[in-house]
């Protein structure tokens, strides 16, 4: 089954699942959402670039015409789980228009 969008109401439970465990085995429904997020055009989404394997990651995006090949988004992480959560939140916002951190803090 493929999805063509994320339903911010019905899929919120899968966002919670990801935030609780960003690395590891995910339920089939969360895997479906992650596949959808990852299928978005590369130039339009944030990525994690490994600076030091297992220790340090940078938030980047691919550069468009006239830009550097990789554009830094000026955020460095030393916790892989925090980095994965941040990318998920940013992609959720882009695809749903909703601030996931704000929703989950209620």
Domain that holds residue 30: 12-104
> Which residue has 């959560």 as its token pair?
85
Whole-number Å distance between alpha carbons of 25 and 18: 10
Q: Is 32 contained in some domain?
A: yes
Instruction: Assess whether pLDDT exceeds 70 at residue 3.
Output: no
pTM of the prediction?
0.89
Reported confidence tier of residue 30, pLDDT bands at 50, 70, 90: very high
Q: Is 49 contained in some domain?
A: yes
Instruction: Assess whether pLDDT exceeds 60 at residue 41.
Output: yes
The pLDDT of residue 10 is 93
Reported confidence tier of residue 65, pLDDT bands at 50, 70, 90: confident
Nearest by Cα to 58 from 67, 66, 47:
47
Q: Is 90 contained in some domain?
A: yes
Q: Is 3 contained in some domain?
A: no
In percent, the amount of the chain with pLDDT more than 90 equals: 73
Q: Is 25 contained in some domain?
A: yes
Q: Is 21 contained in some domain?
A: yes
Neighbouring CB atoms inside 10 A of 89's CB total 21
The per-residue b/e assignment along 66-86, b for 16 or more CB within 10 angstroms, e otherwise, is eeeeeeeeeeebeebeebbbb
């Amino acid at each position: 089954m493929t999805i063509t969008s994320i339903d911010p109401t019905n899929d919120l439970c899968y966002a919670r699942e990801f935030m609780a465990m960003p690395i590891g085995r995910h339920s089939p429904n969360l895997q479906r959402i992650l596949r959808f997020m990852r299928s978005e055009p590369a130039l339009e989404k944030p990525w994690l670039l490994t600076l030091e394997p297992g220790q340090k990651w940078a938030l980047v995006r691919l550069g468009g015409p006239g830009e550097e090949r990789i554009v830094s988004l000026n955020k460095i992480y030393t916790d892989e789980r925090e980095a994965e959560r941040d990318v998920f939140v940013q992609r959720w916002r882009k695809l749903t228009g909703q601030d996931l951190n704000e929703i989950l803090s209620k």
